[in-house]
Structure 1
Amino acid sequence: MPYAHCKGILYGTMTVELGGKVIIECEKSSYVTELEFKLKPFFGGSASINQISGKIKSEDEVLASLDGHWDGEVYLNDLKNGTRNIFWNPTSDIRKQRLKRHIVVFEEQTEFESERLWEHVTSAINEGDQNKATEEKYMLEEAQRKGTRERKENGTEWSPKLFTYDVSGNEWQYKYEE
């Protein structure tokens, strides 16, 4: 997966972009796709947001290239015959198929659930007060560091309250997923 790159944490408008390289390999066909999620350059308009480029290879031969915007149209350029076709276009029908976000009502959240835990940071961001948001974030992180130090000093092992580890699936599961 690409990484999330956050800008504007200390000043300016806070934004999150996807960046980095992703490699997808097919064991059956030996096709390899290399995708690059590009960060917006320092000097660039809205056309340079969410850009993606890549290539599809078989062994060392590049068969096609990809370019466009991952949240819009992505084009496939067939290098053998020189054609350019739309490979991906997230229409409104496709967007409707996205997973629905499950939100626990704020009043029912425990103190360590994200929305409640980050409540003061979120409020400061919504108020446009980056200084206060940074202070609140710092206080939250310091409280977490203090808890880690105390557990270490007491020899207490940390165990998540809202997640369990599924050994068979090798992943963390939210306890109240259903």
Structure 2
Amino acid sequence: MSTKCESEKLAPQHKSAFFSFIKSLATFKGDLASLTAPPFLLSPQSIVEYSAYWAEHPSLFVAPASEPNPEKRALLVLKWFLSTLKQQHSNKDDNGKRKKMKPLNPFLGELFIGKWEDEAGTTNLVAEQVSHHPPATACNIWNDKHGVRLQGHVAPKVYFSGTVHIDRKGYSLLHLDKYDEDYLITMPKIHVEGIMTGSLSPELSGTTYIRSSSGYTCQIDYICKGWVSGKRNSFVAKMFHDDHENEPLYVAEGQWNGEFSIKKCDTQELVEKFDIDTVPRTPLQVAPLEHQHPLESRRAWQHVANAIYRGDIFAVGHEKTKIENEQRGMRKREKAEGREFPRRYFSRAKEDQVAERLAEGMKGETSMRGEMDSHHGVWIWDEKKYRGIQDSLRNGIKSPTRTRFDSGVGGILLDMKDE
């Protein structure tokens, strides 16, 4: 039996607080996202940053735009999607060190803005926390050079049943301009293993789909490790034409955090053996903190993140409480004044006709409807808002700045209307 290295074990001084937290998990009623975790479990990264995992490999993100064959395009979309899963869900960083598994809960209006620049050109990212209760994050990722756009929103619901489970409502739409083609994408469920030992490890479960307007669908089944056999982080994906659902064209199987193979079903020919670790990730570029908008994640949470890096759990709690209290105050003022916090880049929509059309006839339509009709609503990228902000920035209208307490976001709503 293998032993875990010391760096992966729970520090002795934290064990009592950790098991008190586990006890509170088991008795807590409602969405666990609202439950406060001990500071030593917190990651310095906010959930709103997770949108960046979609395009850490820009060359894979844009590859379908250069493939003239619709069947092969759908396969490239599947390959890209599978490549996004490791960094998003792995419990270890690039150095093999175990990550802290509780990310910061984004506040309403929190932003994360960045870009990737490499041989694929410039790939842009804008993510925004569009709802706090229930939590929902919307994002838009686009590459103008290749005409590829990904828009979506995710609303996680966290609950305890023997362990922590995360259901993710919402969906994403990938659009290829050259072919006027859309892909509807849903996200897997997560459950956290090792919670009783403090060695937390996420596992994906359930079934997700990628359905194309060209008539091809990918069904991805996530397989948890069994008691006796099997490997962690496994999956089996099959791709078929919607007119021949029981005649898969390709099957991909392996581990989403490592190596997987793609085979052609009729000949069993190996199309590709893919190892995500062999594909370098392009660094995401974000503006320096002093140039970020006060609502941008890393600027707003900077004092909390610094305290986490220092291991100062008292400062973590103090700085985090500052933000949370200011947010509560903002919500009270908004309610008293009969107004709603303005979303900066996204707008709520009554329906999404593209997603609705793609969902029709999909296997598992009932669950797909559940993803689309849940209580978090539908959030759409608002190009008019974005262009207005870009025009203001070009005309020299700068974001408001704060001099002293820069990890709070109150007091800027009146300034936002000028941007």
- TM-score, normalised to structure 1, is 0.62
Note the 1:29-48 alignment, pairs <5 A: 30-36=215-221, 48=232
Greater percentage in helix: 2
Match of 1:65 in 2: 251
Q: Kindly indicate whether the alpha-carbon contact (under 8 Å) linking 2:203 and 2:232 is maintained by their aligned counterparts in 1.
A: no
Offset at residue 147 of structure 1 (A): 1.0
Residue from 67, 72, 81 that aligns with 2:267: 81
Aligned to 1:101: 284
Q: Distance in 1 between matches of 2:301 and 2:287?
A: 14
2:234 is equivalent to residue 24 of structure 1 = no
Give the AA of the match of 1:86.
Answer: E
Equivalent in the alignment of 1:9: 102
Asked whether the 8 Å contact 1:9–1:130 carries over to 2, the reply is no
- d(CA) in 2 for partners of 1:154, 1:70: 48
Instruction: Report how far residue 78 of structure 1 moved.
Output: 2.8
Structure 1, residues 101-144: CA drift from partner, whole Å, max 9, x if none? 23111122343221111112211322245675456445423422
- More contact order relative to length (CA 8 Å, sep ≥ 6): 2
1:96-135 matches, within 5 Å, as 98=282, 101-129=284-312, 133=316
CA distance in 2, matches of 1:107, 1:71: 35
* Percentage of matched positions with identical amino acids: 20
Q: CA contact under 8 A between 2:261 and 2:273: conserved in structure 1? A: yes
Q: Which secondary structure state, in structure 2, belongs to the residue aligned with residue 74 of structure 1?
A: strand
**Alpha-carbon shift at residue 21 of structure 1 (Å):** 4.2
- Aligned to 1:141, the other structure's residue is in SS state helix
Q: 5+ unaligned residues in a row in structure 2: which ranges? A: 1-80, 92-99, 104-194, 350-379, 395-419
Structure 1 CA distance for aligned equivalents of residues 199 and 340 of structure 2: 39
| Structural RMSD (CA) | 4.4
AA aligned opposite 2:381 = E
Alignment deviations for residues 53-107 of structure 1 (CA, whole Å, 9 cap, x no partner): 3111233314232123446443113332233342545586x636x4x52311112
Q: Which amino acid aligns with 2:254?
A: G
Q: 1:156 to 1:27 in 2, by over 3 A?
A: closer
